[in-house]
Amino acid sequence: MNHQELAALPIFNSFKPYQTQMIKPFIEFCSFPANMVIFHQGDRADNFYILTTGEIALHFKPYDGPSLVITKITSGDVFGWSAALGRSKYSATAIATNEIKVIRMQASNLQKLCAIDPETAALFLDRLVGVISGKLNNSHQEILNLFSNGMNLNSDCKRRMNLNGSENRIYA
């Protein structure tokens, strides 16, 4: 990928050409066929990914129920960010819903980039945090919808969930 192609992705859109050149040794371009599992929930979280083409379904398996699709990842989005957050394991399973292309970065390479070029690393981390926080906000409503699917539509609990929206959110 050249600078223009990388800069078209939200996470790289404010990068200067020399910054995209600095980051290239730390990233890997990969493709996966449809229905390929990229990682399983509980696997060691070594890499995070930027989806450049295609779609990913993230599945969460609660200990007492079937696997649930918790969100869909589309081009430009980041997934597998448990690795970037320093978590030891992935919290969901990522499955390609069609043929995909990704940029993969090992979490350890993020540390190396910080040591070699702190300015580029700081910009990348800032953009990564922006993408992750946006996904967390979107996921909140999707997960609420999953929990409330089986509820009586007229119940007081369901009504309060709808009224509260995001104002009483608790973040772990």
Which of 160 and 66 is assigned the larger pLDDT?
Answer: 66
CA dihedral over 44, 60, 48, 126, signed as positive or negative = negative
pLDDT > 90: percent of the chain: 47
Residue pLDDT, tens place only, 1-18: 888 889 889 889 889 999
State residue 169's pLDDT score.
42
Which of 106 and 137 is assigned the larger pLDDT?
Answer: 106
User: At residue 97, does pLDDT exceed 50?
Assistant: yes
Q: At what angle do helices 118-148 and 156-164 cross, to 10 degrees?
A: 160
User: At residue 149, does pLDDT exceed 70?
Assistant: no
Could you give the CA distance from residue 146 to residue 169 in angstroms, rounded to a whole number? 16
Could you give the CA distance from residue 92 to residue 82 in angstroms, rounded to a whole number? 9
Residue pLDDT, tens place only, 44-53: 999 999 999 9
Domain extents in the chain: 3-164
- Lowest average pLDDT, out of 31-35, 76-80, 119-123, 152-156, goes to 152-156
Q: Which CATH superfamily is domain 3-164 in?
A: Jelly Rolls (2.60.120.10)
pTM of the full predicted structure?
0.77
